[in-house]
Structure 1
Amino acid sequence: MNIYDLRDILSYIGEGLFPNKIKDSKVDNGQPFPEAHGAYWNTPKTWDKILEYLERMF
């Protein structure tokens, strides 16, 4: 699982680099860089994506 924000220049889309190994999920933290890089944990959409991923796993 890879969560990224287009405003976070340190994040990336990994599916192309690791085919069939990573599932990319885009979120919008609503923050500019560099704040976007640390804003994932305060973004409800991040937690929604994590929950969706865990539900698929189990």
Structure 2
Amino acid sequence: MEVSVLYDGQPPFGRRSTQETFVKALRSLTKFRREASIKTWLLRIARNTFKV
């Protein structure tokens, strides 16, 4: 959640964005290729979620 607060700026929005990130990650888990760490993959999903 710390990363989402950094992107969103406030904890209430950070919690929502964190939830959105994990929902997207769970839906895409079968696409994870294990070429990178799961942490890097989640950070990329979070960054793309916050771009919107």
Fold conserved (TM > 0.5)? no
TM-score (structure 1 length as normaliser): 0.33
Bigger fraction of residues in helix: 2
Pair member with larger Rg: 1
Higher relative contact order (CA 8 A, sep 6+): 2
Q: TM-score, length-normalised on structure 2?
A: 0.36
